Structure 1
Amino acid sequence: MIRPFLLLGSVITCLSFHPPQKYKLVWADEFNTNGEPNPKNWTFEKGFVRNGELQWYQSENARCENGFLIIEARKESRPNPLYEEGSMDWRKSRKTIDYTSSSLLTRDLHAWQYGRFEMRAKLDVQPGMWPAFWTLGIKGQWPSNGEIDIMEYYQNTILANTAWGTDQAYKAKWNTVKTPLSTFNDPEWADKFHVWRMDWDEKEIRLYVDDQLLNTTELSKTLNADGSNPFHQPHYVLVNLALGGDNGGDPSASKFPARYEIDYVRVYQRGK
């Protein structure tokens, strides 16, 4: 695979690669070194984390291979080390771990306020899969810290979302656009790589796939109950492959291992 040559702080092009005008590359992971993901760029979530999802997150399910980040969901069975008989906590009430996967994030390593965030990836769209490319604000309790779902997929639908706080703890105000895969009118859509992009400035967040605008959020409308705006602060990036849970559906009939393949993640910002 022929790849563009990139230097942080500058943009160098070759072949057909054309960077966004008025932006410069400030951070990227091209996943060109085989092995574990770069620890200077990524940390890992661990265990059962959110949304009642089925997977146990662990670092072992992510690797760099042939220029791609491979996040692999596996069907396996082992004891849940958190298990407590009679517990009402979904993380502790399960006797076994039945699926594993990975969630990588740049929290405490890299965060950015405004810019163009871009990922080229291929999704596994089997039943039960819930891959995502998203951001969270560095300060505040969810959802008042702000959430941006640049790409979220489940149940034959691509979602482009933003969320912020309300006057109730853990209750978000959402701006969501759902795009069924059938609207792309391409029976081979899921077999191809696609580019997801966020353009985020002081006024708007615009979310795209393959240059098709999916959702626009006006930041004048994204105020938390206390008047703060979670999209006027730095955000960090997450990439993960979840299973089941609140929205993902039933993965029991799907083939494993399942793969979320990421070619690159890049962040650009406007030059001063």
Structure 2
Amino acid sequence: MWQDEFGQDGKPDSAGWSYEYGFKRNQELQWYQPENATVRDGVLVIEGKRERVKNEFYDPSSEDWRKNTPYGEYTSASINTNGKKAFQYGIIEVRARIDTAMGLWPAIWTLGVERPWPANGETDIMEYYRVQGQPTILANAAWAHENKRAAWDERKIDFAHFLRKDPDWPGKFHVWKMDWTQESIRLYLDDELLNEVDLNQTLNPDGFNPFHQPHYILLNLAIGSNGGDPAATDFPRKYEVDYVRVYQRE
């Protein structure tokens, strides 16, 4: 249906990808900027750097951390297909090599095109971060809930599970897959089923099902927050994506 093999050196193809800019979520430490996403040698490289940047939206009187933080001490990139490529059902497949260093939070995820979060629906095809201090691979879905910030169908797998299968796991590329039908979302890592989400259960309080609408794709490398403290980690760090492919049945 659509693919990006990242075959052309330079910037990600603007026909498919846009950038996030500045501070965004979860009180993460990185300042997102386009400069940290480049395509070289057939791979999208999202680079995390330790460098000070001035917050151009700085407002000391604001109560929003995204505005009252004067500087970012780290930079990274977050790209997405919002407004350019959106998909409903089928298979999304991403081959990537993630950096598992302390402080890093790489992700492959989707968001629905209609409604604000979490009522638009979120699918985490891949997240890697620390859960109670332990490195963890996550495969999740979120939607709106009446009494709390979001309802989650979460699966957290201790990273040691993958290291036992292959001690060289962090140095290799792996394939993450979202198999999405009207009834379910199945999330795989190297053909191992990590989570199956029953879409009969993912209704917002108003009855809207956010997984029965088109979603767009996001690729990002966050720093800090759930990723842990990056202070002792050497930078720069790299999150590499070999391809993004979307399949749909005729």
Structure 2, unpaired ranges of 5+: none
SS in 2 for 1:221: coil
What does the per-residue CA deviation read over 1:118-142, in whole Å, with 9 as the maximum and x for residues that have no partner?
0000000101100000000000111
Amino acid at match of 1:177: R
Match of 2:84 among 109, 119, 137: 109
Gapped runs of 5+ residues in structure 1?
Answer: 1-25
SS of aligned partner of 2:139? strand
Is 1:72 aligned with 2:52? no
**Match runs of 1:197-236 below 5 Å:** 197-236=177-216
* 1:140 maps onto 2:115 in alignment: yes
Aligned to 1:14: none
Name the CA distance, whole Å, in 1 between partners of 2:201 and 2:93: 24
SS state at 2:200 partner: helix
Give the number of aligned pairs: 244
Q: Is structure 2 residue 127 aligned with structure 1 residue 152?
A: yes
The residue type equivalent to 2:123 in the other structure is I
Aligned: 1:249 with 2:224: no
The Cα shift of 1:88 comes to: 2.3
* 1:190 lines up with 2:166 in the alignment: no
Give the number of the structure whose alpha-carbon radius of gyration is greater: 1
Q: 1:82 Cα shift?
A: 2.1
2:239 equivalent among 253, 260, 271: 260
Deviation, structure 1 residue 153: 0.6
TM, length-normalised to structure 1: 0.88
Instruction: Summarize deviations over 1:190-210 as a string: whole Å, max 9, x none.
Output: 111100001000100000000
Q: Per-residue CA shift, 1:55-114, capped at 9, x if unaligned?
A: 111100000000000000111013222222253211122221111110000000010000
Q: 1:58 aligns with which of 23, 28, 33?
A: 33
- Residue 270 of structure 1 aligns to a residue whose secondary structure is coil
What does residue 159 of structure 2 align with? Answer: 181
> What amino acid sits opposite 2:128 in the alignment?
Y
TM-score normalised by L of structure 2:
0.95
Aligned-pair CA distance for 1:176? 0.5
**3-state DSSP of counterpart to 2:243:** strand
Tell me, yes or no, if structure 1 residue 91 matches structure 2 residue 66.
Answer: yes
2:106–2:220 Cα contact (<8 Å) kept: yes
Q: Is the 2:90–2:179 contact (alpha carbons within 8 Å) kept by the matching residues of 1?
A: yes
User: Aligned letter for 2:66?
Assistant: R
Tell me the distance in 2 between the aligned counterparts of 1:213 and 1:182.
17
Q: What SS does the corresponding residue of 1:91 show, helix, strand or coil?
A: helix
Q: Cα offset for 1:188?
A: 1.3
Task: Quote the Cα distance in structure 1 between the aligned partners of 2:89 and 2:158.
Answer: 28
Q: How far apart, CA to CA, are the structure 1 residues paired with 2:23 and 2:52?
A: 14
Q: Give the equivalent residue in structure 2 for 1:42.
A: 17
Structure 2 partner of 1:167: 146
Give the % identical residues: 55
- CA distance in 2 between partners of 1:126 and 1:268 (Å): 32
CA distance in 1, matches of 2:53, 2:247: 42
* CA deviation profile, 1:16-72 (whole Å, cap 9, x unmatched): xxxxxxxxxx00000000001100010000000111111111100000000000000
